[in-house]
Chain A
Amino acid sequence: MGGLIKSSIARKVAMALSGLFLVFFLLQHFTINFTSLFSADIFNELSHFMGTNPLVQFALQPVLIFGVVFHFVMGFVLEIKNRNARAVKYASYNGGANSSWMSRNMVYSGLVILAFLGLHFYDFWVPEIVHKYIEFAPEDPTRYYPELLHKFESPVRTGLYILSFVFLALHLWHGFASSFQSVGFNNKYSVAATKFAKVFAIGVPLGFVIVAIVLHLTH
C-alpha cells in the first residue's frame, strides 16, 4: 500500500475520483440553480436547506472544499511532473493529429475554472460565511432568490460566468469521460458511458448558461 501513494496510477485514479465527485456536486448545484427559472419559492427553500442544514454545512461542505483543493493541487503537481518528463521540446509538434485540444489543454481550462471559482466564492460563498458565521445575521429563508437575481444584474459579470461555463464544458468534455478510463472502466459499456459523459459535458454548462442569461434578462 505504501507505494500506492507515490505511483503514477494512484495519482491518476485520485484525479479521476476527485473529478467524479466534483461532477456529482456540479449536477446537484445545477439542479438547484435550475429551479430558480420556474419557482423562486422552491429555489429559496432548497437554498435555505443547503445553507442551514448542519450535515451539509459542517460535513459535506468541508469535503467539497477538500475535493476542489485536492483536484487543483494534484492537477498542477501532475502538470509540472509531466512537463519535466520532456525537458527538450519538439521543434515541430502536431498534437492535433492524434488528440483533441481539450485533452491537451486541461491545465488551461482548469485555470480558467479556478479563476471563476475565485469570483464565484467572492460573489456567493464569502458573503454567506460573513452573513451566517461572522455577523450572525438573522436567517431570512426568502433572501436567496433576490440575492441571486442581484448578482446577475451586471452584464459583465453575466458574461464572465458564461465564458467560464464554456471552459467548464471544455474541461468536462475530456475529463468526465477520461475518468472512467482512469479507474479501469473500459468494456462493452464504455461507449455508452462516454456518450453520457459528453452529453453531460455540454448539457450541464449549457444549463448554467441559460440560467445566467434568463436571470440577467429578468431585470
Chain B
Amino acid sequence: MNLTLKIWRQEDAKSPGKIVDYQVKGIEGDMSFLEMLDVLNEQLITKGDEPVVFDHDCREGICGACSLQINGEPHGPDRLVTTCQLHMRKFNDGDTIYIEPFRAKAFPVVKDLMVDRSSFDRIQQAGGYVSVNTSGNTIDANAIPINKDDADASFEAATCIGCGACVAACKNASAMLFTSAKVSQFALLPQGQVEATDRVLAMVNQMDEEGFGNCTNTGACEIECPKGISLENIARMNREYLKASMKG
C-alpha cells in the first residue's frame, strides 16, 4: 500500500518543530508500524536526507520503549498493543497517517518522535521499590501466604511497562495510571506494607513535581494502555494517599 505520512520533525528540545509530509510506497500489511518507519528511513537515507528519529528496543511489546501518537491515539488505533505490535493491515492504501511524539511538558522532545520519559524513572526512584535484605538470609517470597485475588491484582499492576501511553492519551497529560500501577503492585502485597506510607506520598509528590496534569477520570488512559492497566489502581492510590496523609 502507498501512504502519506505527516510526521513531527524537531531538531532538539529547544527548536520549534513542525509536521512534514512524506510518501511511502510498497508497504505490506504484515509489516509492523516500526518496520514501515524503517522503510521510510531507508528511503530518506538513500536520498541523503536526515532519517526520522523514534524510540524502539525489543519490538515485541515488552520493553515500553516505542511510543508514537498515531492518528491521535497513543500506539495507534489497535487496542492492547504497543506501536511495535501494530500491523500495517490496520491501515488502508492511500491513507494519511499523523505521527507525533507523546506530548506532555514532563516528556520533552529529544528529537523528532523521541521523547525523554525519565520523569517516570524519577517517580519510580522516589518510592517504587521494597527494601529487602539480601545479605545471605533472604526469605523465599513464596513462604508468605498471599490472597489469590490480591496476588493477581498486584501482578496485573506490575505488568505496566511504563511506556507513557496513559500520559499521551490523557487530555490533561496526567501520569496517575502509571504512578498508581507502581504504587498498587506493592500496596497489595505484605512485602510492600513496611514502606507503604512513605512510598505513596513520595511517588505522588514526585509525580506532581514533574509537571504532569491532574486526573479527571476520563478513562482514556485505561482504554489506550497496551497492558490494560485498570482505573481501579488510581482509586487504590487515592485511598492509599489519603490514608498515608492522615498518618504522616
Contact = CB atoms under 8 A, between A and B. Distances in A.
A4 B246 CA distance: 9
A138 interface: no
Given A13-B238, A13-B242, A98-B223, A7 B204 contact: yes
B130 interface: no
Interface in B218-248: 218-220, 223-224, 231-232, 234-239, 241-242, 245-246, 248
A95 B242 contact: no
A186 B204 CA distance: 19
Interface in B149-205: 169, 171-174, 176, 201, 204-205
Interface stretch (B35-43, B46-54, B56-64, B65-73): B65-73
A33 interface: no
Contacts, number: 136
B169 A98 contact: yes
A99 interface: yes
B238 A182 contact: yes
26 contacts: A3-B201, A6-B208, A7-B204, A8-B174, A8-B212, A8-B215, A13-B242, A82-B216, A84-B211, A84-B213, A85-B105, A86-B105, A86-B172, A90-B100, A91-B8, A92-B72, A92-B98, A95-B220, A97-B77, A99-B219, A99-B223, A103-B216, A103-B218, A106-B216, A174-B217, A184-B236
Interface of B: 6, 8, 17, 19, 69, 71-73, 77, 98, 100, 103-106, 169, 171-174, 176, 201, 204-205, 207-208, 211-220, 223-224, 231-232, 234-239, 241-242, 245-246, 248
Sorted from nearest, which 8 A-B pairs have the closest CB atoms? A94-B72, A85-B213, A186-B235, A184-B239, A92-B98, A82-B172, A98-B223, A99-B218
